[in-house]
Structure 1
Amino acid sequence: AKHYHHLFDTFIYGTVLFIFGNYSQSFNWITSVCIFLGLFGFAWIAELPFSKVSLGSLKNWDIRLKIILVVGVLVIVAAAGYHIYLAYNFQIDEEQSLLLPYLLALCCICLFIFLSTIVVYKYQNMSFPNLKRRIIRVGERNRHIIMTRDELEERNHDNTREVINVDDVIFIDMPEVGFHLHHWQIFYYLAFFTRFNDPISQVCAGLVIGIFMHGVSAYGFHDLLEE
């Protein structure tokens, strides 16, 4: 069932990207070749011995990985500048270029996703303690035992103590939600803006789609918010 779920997600994400990313107009052999370069190139980097780390441990990264990160960021910034230039030269009509809508979409969509994620993150983690207190009050009123699942398992494995029936327990496992930005999400988002009939833009399109495909293939469609 999980594989079908991933196939369905791939179809949905791919269809949305193909339609709204203008790939019906800009996709060609250059993009196709660069997809494989992005996919296998990023996979090769990800399999290097010093690159098996997460962004949270950035301070402890190997210097070689930090250099790769800096180079990657510089390439993305340079590509972004070039695409802004392309948007400036792309005329919607005789009086207006694509620049303003392009920049608004680039900034506003990113800002909306980020802020909505922060709101959900704050709400979830602030709600758990209050919910936990309410559960404890209800449990005590009904003479239930209040504990976490780990505490119950530890208690029932202790041969010196009485085994507790699960039906007599109200569990208060309240996992906190954490923010985790995955590379498939970054490059999927960027793929919507490599939409021009320009060789450099088509190269960038292939690379970002390839890296997006690597993230999905290796780790699945993980969410921004995770327990």
Structure 2
Amino acid sequence: MDSGTATVSHGFMDGCYLKDDAYNGAATLVSFHLLRFGLFTVMLIVVGPFVFRIVAAFFDLERDFKSIVDHFDDVTGGLMYVYILFTLGNYSHTFGWVTVVFYFVGLLAYSALSWLPFMAVSIPTWRTWSAEAWLVNTIGLVLILVGAGFHIRWASQAEILQWYLPLFVLATASVWSPVIVKWLQHYCIDNCPDALGIERRTRWAALAIVIPRSGAARRKYQAEEEHQLAVLRERAEQYAATREPSATRQSRGSDNDCDDDSYRPLSMAIGTTPVATQRSSDTGTAMPNTNNNSTSRLNMPHEPPAQPHAITLTHTQKQEMIERKLRNLHYNNANSDGSMPLYRYQLHLHHWQIFYILAFFTRFDEFASRACAGVVLGIFTHGHAAYGLDPLMERKGER
């Protein structure tokens, strides 16, 4: 492309736009300018918050204490918000000295309002507001609606109203959709808490499919059974050792010397030979053990277990294996064998969220629109600099 040829945008949904069009970028959804982005970012997450904290410390304004780690989290978290806002809000073309001036006007003016005793309120407590708080907030709402009317008019003139209003509804979904999510959470807790265990059901289905076909699972199950058998064998040998001295066991030469009914069934059940004699297959008489190590079989080391052989798990065994595994799901914050951490929530709409959304739609190359952009950006900065990027839904009983 020749250097003298200008790039022209043809619609609101066009791609990255770097030069002016008839609406100075207002008709383009995505735009980016590296230098302006850098200045925009420094203003919103470094200079603005620093100025507020100094002013708040001087006048002892309401704010949360923040450590170095808290400030670092605000900066790293704010980078994501600022990047999205810059690229979708047309600040590549509208960010300038007007926005900067009114940014600090909005930041300091809102700080002054929060200093007033009757303005120490939040939106969830609107039922307890004083008359003065209602007056100030009503004036603010009227100013927002008047500004919205001008921006809708400019959108109509730029022929993008068919995109402007639907995208505004989509952007505000971050405010109204949590109402639905909260209702669904409370409904499930009250009526069908088991329905929230879909991950457990998914894991159960996977185990039901894999375990019957898994040779490794069958071998593991068999190894567990053989281990239990080895434990029983060891207990039987220890029991036999306490019943009679080893010298007596070595001197016995016939089965008649081992008629203890309490010992014989246990040894037979686990496959041990409690006497140190061998019976002649021909004569049926007891023959002495001629092994050089003429000791009782009970005193000999354990024989190695038999090699695993293919087994088929019964339905009950499969279910036992599945339930045993389901009691050890990999949740870091909950015991899968107990109740899941299901909490009730309340909505807490913060002013940083409201004015952050509005900042996406002050995208027009008009002095008033740039001034409005500065004001809403300043109020957004006050919210995250004073309190942090708090979530919209909070657990009941927590701030």
TM-score by length of 2: 0.44
> 1:100 is matched with which residue?
162
Matching residue within 216, 219, 222 for 2:387: 219
- Deviation digits for residues 57-114 of structure 1 (CA, Å, limit 9, x no counterpart): 3233222221111111111010000001111111xxxxxx11111111112332x334
1:192 to 1:70, Cα distance in 2 relative to 1, 3 A: same
The SS at the match of 1:178 is strand
Q: Distance in 1 between matches of 2:126 and 2:347?
A: 16
Paired-residue identity, %: 35
Higher relative contact order (CA 8 A, sep 6+): 1
Between Structure 1 and Structure 2, how many residues are aligned? 188
Q: Which amino acid aligns with 2:371?
A: V
CA distance in structure 1 between the partners assigned to 2:356 and 2:124 by the alignment: 21
* 2:8 corresponds to: none
Distance across 1 between alignment mates of 2:389 and 2:380: 10
2:151 equivalent among 72, 80, 83: 83
Q: Where does residue 352 of structure 2 map in the other structure?
A: 184
The residue type equivalent to 1:104 in the other structure is P
Letter in 2 for 1:98: I
One of 98, 103, 111 as aligned partner of 1:43: 111
**Alignment partners' CA distance in 2, 1:81 and 1:188:** 18
For 2:359 and 2:133, how far apart are their aligned partners in 1? 24
Q: 2:95 pairs with 27, 40, 62, which one?
A: 27
Question: Please, which moves more after superposition, 70-79 or 123-132?
Answer: 123-132
Question: Which SS does the other structure have where 1:80 is aligned?
Answer: helix
Shift of 1:43: 0.9
Q: What residue number does 1:151 align with? A: none
Q: What is the distance in 2 between the residues matched to 1:124 and 1:5?
A: 29
Task: Give the alignment partner of residue 181 of structure 2, picking from 114, 120, 126.
Answer: 120
Give the number of the structure whose alpha-carbon radius of gyration is greater. 2
- Which of 135, 141, 144 is matched with 1:73 structurally? 141
Selected match of 1:58 from 111, 116, 126:
126
Superposed CA offset, 1:108-150 (max 9, x none): 332x334531232123223345549x9xxxxxxxxxxxxxxxx
Cα distance in 2, alignment partners of residues 224 and 57 from structure 1: 15
State whether structure 2 residue 276 is matched by structure 1 residue 208. no
With over 3 angstroms needed to count, the CA separation of the structure-2 counterparts of 1:192 and 1:172, relative to structure 1, is closer
Instruction: Describe the superposition over 1:19-70 as per-residue Cα deviations: whole angstroms up to 9, x where unpaired.
Output: 1100010011010011101111001101101111222332332222211111
Matches within 5 A, 1:141-220: 174-220=342-388
**More helix as a share of residues:** 1
Distance 1:225 1:57, change over 3 A: closer
- Aligned counterpart, 2:261: none
Secondary structure class of the residue paired with 1:38: helix
Amino acid aligned to 1:178: Q
Q: Which amino acid aligns with 1:53?
A: V
Distance 1:49 1:115 in 2: 30
C-alpha distance in structure 2 between counterparts of 1:7 and 1:114, whole Å:
23
In the alignment, is the contact (CA less than 8 A) between 2:171 and 2:357 conserved in 1?
no
What TM-score, normalized to structure 1?
Answer: 0.75
Query: How far apart are the structure 2 equivalents of 1:197 and 1:38?
Result: 19
- Aligned residue type for 1:117: P
Report deviation, 1:2. Answer: 3.6
Counterpart of 2:388, as a letter, is G
- Give the CA RMSD over aligned residues: 2.5
2: distance between equivalents of 1:216 and 1:115? 21
Separation in 2, partners of 1:113, 1:75? 22
- Gaps spanning 5+ residues in structure 1: where? 91-96, 135-169
> Which residue identity lines up with residue 11 of structure 1 in the other structure?
L
Query: 1:226 is paired with a residue of what secondary structure?
Result: strand
